Amino acid sequence: MAFAQRARYSWQLRTRALPLGERTRIMGIVNVTPDSFSDGGRYATTELAMQHALRLLDAGADLLDIGGESTRPGSPAATPDAISTAEEQDRVLPVIAGVLRERPDALLSVDTYRAATARAAVQAGVEIVNDVSGGVWDAAMLATCAELQCGTVVMHTRGKPSAWPAHAAAADEHISAHVLSELRDRLQQAETAGIARSRMVADPGFGFGKRGTENWRLLHDCAAFAELGYPLLVGLSRKGFVAADLQAEQQGSMQVRDALTHAANTAAVLAGAHLLRVHDVPGAVLAAAAADAVLQAG
């Protein structure tokens, strides 16, 4: 049985480099929000979010992705009804400061589509900007990341969250080619804006404007994204499609979704993923170790 040969990269961040490819890197999710789809409200205060972040680091997360606004399907993100930039920063900046105070060497990413928040977070010590829109929702984002010389995750998104529930499904056989083409364009635009190739990671954006089985097809074809020539980040964690075929009570179980996530993430690693963005860090560490062992055996 053949698996993808994962390329090696040195991801250049703001002040350091992160080797990618020898083993899978785990990005732990810290949602400082009242309304995220899986853990909204659990870590909505600075203290709760900071303690959660420290637990994820202790559990083996290589880096943390801290976000202050939900981009779940149907949310008002990137519309006039979205939370303000000031509110987003009020949520994330104290957590960033608190984590770095306790763990000065912690590697942090900020999950934001706003250039102003990206700038504030990097000035507070963040190394990476993870923009789910790939620089689409804020025209200043790509130039800002270029100026800040930070690590940048360029993700593919179809439309805005408020429109996703009404999206017509694409033909499954066309979704991967569509995402590959548009993500290539976004990466090229980022490079044109001045972001060095060595600072970028690509993310196909599972669940972001893709419906149901489109996501499984995208995962099936994940190895094709190696042709972009960038490290690959995959975010499957607790997404609705992983549990879509289960009974309602199982669909709502985060324990069930985590188990399915780890299975899907194993497939992603065997198809070439370099980083996994996850809620359940301990389980992801184990799943990634098993998948890495398979790759190393080959």
**Tokens at residue 129, please?**
């900007």
Side-chain-facing half-sphere of 75: CA atoms under 13 Å: 17
Q: What is the dihedral sign for C-alpha 134, 128, 269, 212?
A: negative
Distances (CA, A) of 69 to 2, 34, 52, 65, 110: 40, 9, 17, 12, 11
Indicate if 277 belongs to the active site. yes
Distance (Å, rounded) from C-alpha 130 to C-alpha 113? Answer: 8
HEC letters along 126-178: CCEEEECCCCCCCCCHHHHHHHHCCEEEEECCCCCHHHHHHCCCCCHHHHHHH
For residue 212, give the amino acid letter: G
**Tokens at residue 243, please?**
């549990």
Distance (Å, rounded) from C-alpha 108 to C-alpha 17? Answer: 13
Contacts for 232 with CB less than 8 Å, ≥ 6 apart? 201, 202, 203, 204, 222, 225, 226, 272, 273, 274, 275
Is residue 214 within 8 Å of residue 170, measured between CB atoms? yes
Is residue 129 within 8 Å of residue 154, measured between CB atoms? no
Catalytic site residue from 91, 114, 239, 257: 239
| Residues forming a β-bridge with 66 | 30, 110
Indicate if 158 belongs to the active site. no
Distance (Å, rounded) from C-alpha 277 to C-alpha 240? Answer: 15
Catalytic site residue from 25, 217, 238, 277: 277
The catalytic site residues sit at 239, 277
